[in-house]
Every structure is written in structure tokens, then in C-alpha cells.
Chains A and B, each alone.
Chain A
Amino acid sequence: MAELLTHVLVAYVVATVLSWRYESITTALVTAMMAGALFPDLRKIYLVVPGEAITATLGVPFSWAPLHRLGGLVVCLLLAVVLVGRPQRRLTVALLSVGAFSHVFLDGLLYQVDGRVFRFFWPLTTYGIPFQGWYKSFDLWPLAVALPLAVATAAVSIHRKTETATEERASSGARRSDGAARSARSGD
């Protein structure tokens, strides 16, 4: 994995840019896409509760790895389908999915010693697409690209919101002065 901040920032940039084009993508839904980018790394629970500890306690084999694979991700997204309120369900789950798969896509670009992309399609297949990789897990440059991009996106987003609010205030002010002029004329 690239570190989680890169994944979250990439999701933020993609969702925010989409929100400029599609008004239905609200700030809450931008957050949903960022949350989707967290899904595959829920596997990192193993740092706190190792699978071996669960195996030792319960006596059953256990691994958190499916959270980073197609099988686990699909189940997580189905949980979202069930748990998200009906009015926002479709869009939320769509953005969660885009966030989750953007994470997987970025992880697929990682350098792997065996020259194959990690086995994402488990449990359907353990086939790994041949690919030499573009960066290593600990490379800093993905974050160095994502961070300024996210800052620029946030700046443009704030500018757009300020402009919209100014325009709205100006138009509501014009409506109020029109109404005042009309009532003054009717008073004559």
C-alpha cells in the first residue's frame, strides 16, 4: 500500500472535482468517497489484533487479508448498501465504491518482487496480472504529488463556494430592492 493519506487525498481530489460537475455530489458524499478509500486498509486491523491471536484464542484459522481483496470489499460495500439511508443510498455506495477501487488501483501500481500485481480478485482467482510496478510501498513521491494536488483542489473549491455565496447574496439583494421599489410606487 501507499500510505493511507495518499489514498484519502486522491479520493478527495477526484470526488471534489466531480462535485464541480455534478451538483448532487455534496460535501457529505465527498466524505463518503474518502471513507471508501479507507476500506481496503481496514485490513490493517491486524496491527492491533493479529489474525494469529484470533486463531490462538478461537482455534479457527483467521486472516484479515480478504478486506484488501475483491471478496471482502464487495461484502463491505453490500454492508453500506444496507446501512445507508435510502435517499442517498445509490450515490453514496457508488462513491464509496469509486473510493475503494481507487485505493486498489493505486496499490496495483506497487512494485512487487514477483512482477505481478497483488492477487486482488480473490476468492474468484489468485491470478496476478504481470506488471513490474511504478513505486514501492515506502516511496514518498505519491504523497508529494497528492498533497499539493489536494491543497490546490481545496483552494479552488473554497473559491467556488465563496463566489457562489457572493452571487446569491447579490441576487437576493437585487430582489429585495426591486420589491422595495415596487411597494414604494404602489404607496404613491
Chain B
Amino acid sequence: MKSSAAVRVALVGALLTVLVGLFVLSGAGIALSDPQERSTGETVTLTGTVVAEAPPTISLQDGRTLRLDDLSSEAVSEGQRISVDVTVHEAGAPPGVVEPEPWQRPFMYGVSALAGALVLGRIVDYWRFDVRRVWIEPRSRPLHESVLHRADGPGDSPDRSQYVEEPTEEARG
């Protein structure tokens, strides 16, 4: 293995170690959570418009209402915009977090998987891993064209500059 490739492998190892360090740091409870990820005991600030005074009720942005039993009705007036700190008593979504319709979650995961497959396919088609240099580089010709070209027999080669920039002298060295 050339020294530059060995340095690259060492750097990848070091960066992966840093990444794992971040995973552990966040797992150890260094706060970074989103409202959707809040767990029992955590406090969430909810903002809404007062829609009723007795009992005080606020309307959240997602259209759901939240009754504030612990708040005096004299403390609020209709139309007022207030923020309240609430503690999550059950793990999962706090009040106000929008829960999807039953079909929305599978749809979301389905199209996300499609997007992942699309990008992965394009990466395989346009990029290659050079084992000797231990780096990723664009293919001189997309994989699908190479396969088709092989099937059709030899012919005019398409313009490769359409896919990659020609390497500089420095890079060739």
C-alpha cells in the first residue's frame, strides 16, 4: 500500500473514532433532542392561542387544543398568545406533536427507500472505488453505458468529459 493510501486509511479510522465519540456523547444525554424525541420527565415549551378561558384552553399550531387545568382562568384572555412549559409524563410524543395518519408513515418510509435506492444506483453508475489508491473517483464512463457498449460491440466512444473532468498533471503524478 502506498504511503498516501495508508495515511488515508489512518485518517478514516481517526474520523470514525471521532464520529463514534459523538454518538456516545449524545447517548450520554448531552441535550440535542427534538420535541418528537423527548422522553419522560423532559420539559417542552408549547406556544398557542387562547381559545377558551374557563378552563384555559390553547389551540396549538397543528390544530389540536390543550387544556391547562393548572392555570387560573383569570390569568388568560381569549385571543392571547401564550407559551407554557409542560412536562412529558409518557415517553414519546408530547402533546402538540402531530401524529401521522395511518397511511402516512409507510408512505414516507416507502418514498424515502426509493430515494435511497435512486441515489445508491446513481453512485454505483457514476462512481467507482479505486482499491489501490483507496479513494472514490468518477467512472470514465457510466457503468450502464459500459455494459450497453459491451453488449453492442465496439463503436464510437462517447465524450467522457460529459461525466468527469480530465485529471490534472498533479493528480496523475
Question: Which residues of the other chain, B, contact A63 by a CB distance below 8 angstroms?
Answer: 23, 26-27
Check A65 for interface membership: any CB of B closer than 8 A: yes
The CA of A118 and the CA of B38, in the complex, are separated in Å by 12
In the assembled complex, the CB of B75 is this many whole angstroms from the nearest CB of chain A, namely 20
Check B69 for interface membership: any CB of A closer than 8 A: no
Count, chain B residues at interface, CB 8 A: 74
Contact B27 A62 (CB under 8 A): yes
Count, chain A residues at interface, CB 8 A: 63
Which residue of B has the minimal Cβ distance to A61? B27
The CA of A137 and the CA of B161, in the complex, are separated in Å by 40
Q: Given A3, A27, A122, A138, which contacts B115 in the complex, CB threshold below 8 Å?
A: A3
Check A34 for interface membership: any CB of B closer than 8 A: yes
Question: Which residues of the other chain, B, contact A24 by a CB distance below 8 angstroms?
Answer: 165
Check A111 for interface membership: any CB of B closer than 8 A: yes
Q: Given B26, B100, B135, which contacts A137 in the complex, CB threshold below 8 Å?
A: B100
Contact A8 B139 (CB under 8 A): no
Within 8 A of B (CB), among A39-61: 41, 44, 47, 51, 55, 60-61
Check A179 for interface membership: any CB of B closer than 8 A: no
Question: Which residues of the other chain, A, contact B23 by a CB distance below 8 angstroms?
Answer: 51, 62-64, 66
Contact B26 A5 (CB under 8 A): no
- A26-B164, A35-B123, A115-B45 known; 11 new pairs, CB 8 Å cut-off, are A3-B111, A26-B162, A26-B163, A31-B127, A35-B122, A66-B22, A83-B134, A85-B133, A87-B167, A113-B46, A161-B162
